[in-house]
Amino acid sequence: MTLREALTEAATSIDRREAETLLAHLLFRDRPWLIAHSDTELSTTLHLAYRALVSRRVAKEPIQYLTGHQEFFGLMLRVTPDTLIPRPETELLVEAVLRWVAARPTLRQPHILDIGTGTGAIALALASKLPKAHITATDLYPAALAIAEHNAARHHLTHRVTFLQSDLLAAPKLQSALPFDVIVSNPPYVSLYEAATMSDEVLKHEPHTALFAGAQGLDIYRRLIPAAHAALKPEGLLALEFGFGQLDALKALFDKPTNGPWQDLQFQNDYAQIPRIALATRP
């Protein structure tokens, strides 16, 4: 069977572009190579392996887990079922932090904390753009931290980011690193009630610990906002990603006296013009 024939067969059950992506991954090639060598014969062993990948995609396994990688902010990152797949919307969170730092030229060596780092996407994106920053990235789960450390090594950023296992800011080593200029986080924020409306691709394959945060999706914010206030320098930034319909509830948490006080609270929309990013500074 030729590559063209294998792709035609696969495209009867999955998207053609995804079929090409999976075959290119299997052959350690890129999509243009497939097109230029479409008459190349595919061995029986590789054909069976390709069919297995296609079958997993038919079962709604995310293509990022099948290929083992996802691009984020120009960095190709390793992803596994132990980590949430980085989304384009989270790049907006990185951009917001970069703009904030750029607007403060006297902040030459910002001390930044990324909470719930997962693949390391946010921390590594910031490290790649802020060569003088001191960055710490935490996650509660060792398996996720292992992936983040792999991604740091892959992009030669191991010396730029310190990875720690921690439940938010609870780790003793993290306490000794206080205070921070910036705390940034894309925490779990999906409510348990939303599970019934989610696609199988997300619900059955991505880690629930990185998705769900209680009945309203606010459990992490309730703990993180006051903890971040205590851990920031004066005029330091807290930058958060949040979910659809959570703007009012998040604003109420920032306004709660025991969680602050905060100033310069602002919200930014994502590509679909849905409020997605919250920014606030400690007075």
Residue ranges of domains in the chain, CATH in brackets = 3-59 (no CATH), 70-281 (3.40.50.150)
Q: Give the residues across from 2 on adjacent strands.
A: 41
- What lies within 8 Å, CB to CB, of 259 at 6+ separation is 225, 226, 229, 253
The pLDDT value given to residue 259: 97
pLDDT value of position 176:
85
How far apart CA 237 and CA 229 sit, in angstroms, is 9
> What's the pLDDT score for residue 175?
86
**pLDDT value of position 114:** 98
Predicted pLDDT at 248? 97
Q: Length of the chain, please?
A: 283
Secondary structure class of 202 (helix, strand, coil): helix
Q: Is 17 exposed, middle or buried (0-12, 13-18, 19+ CB in 10 A)?
A: exposed
CA distances from 104 to 109, 192, 203, 236 (A): 11, 39, 41, 11
pLDDT along the chain (283 residues), means of 10: 96 96 96 94 97 97 97 98 96 98 95 98 98 97 98 97 96 92 97 89 93 94 97 98 96 96 97 97 97
CA distances from 97 to 90, 191, 234 (A): 11, 26, 16
Contact 124, 151 (CB under 8 A): yes
Return the structure tokens found at 200: 């199988």
Query: What's the pLDDT at 85?
Result: 97
pLDDT of residue 102: 97
What is the structure's pLDDT at 64? 97
Give the Cα-Cα-Cα angle 5, 30, 86 (nearest 5 degrees).
Answer: 115
| Tokens 């992009």 belong to residue | 155
How far apart are the C-alpha atoms of 2 and 152, rounded to whole Å? Answer: 38
* Parallel, antiparallel or unpaired: strands 263-269 and 275-281: antiparallel
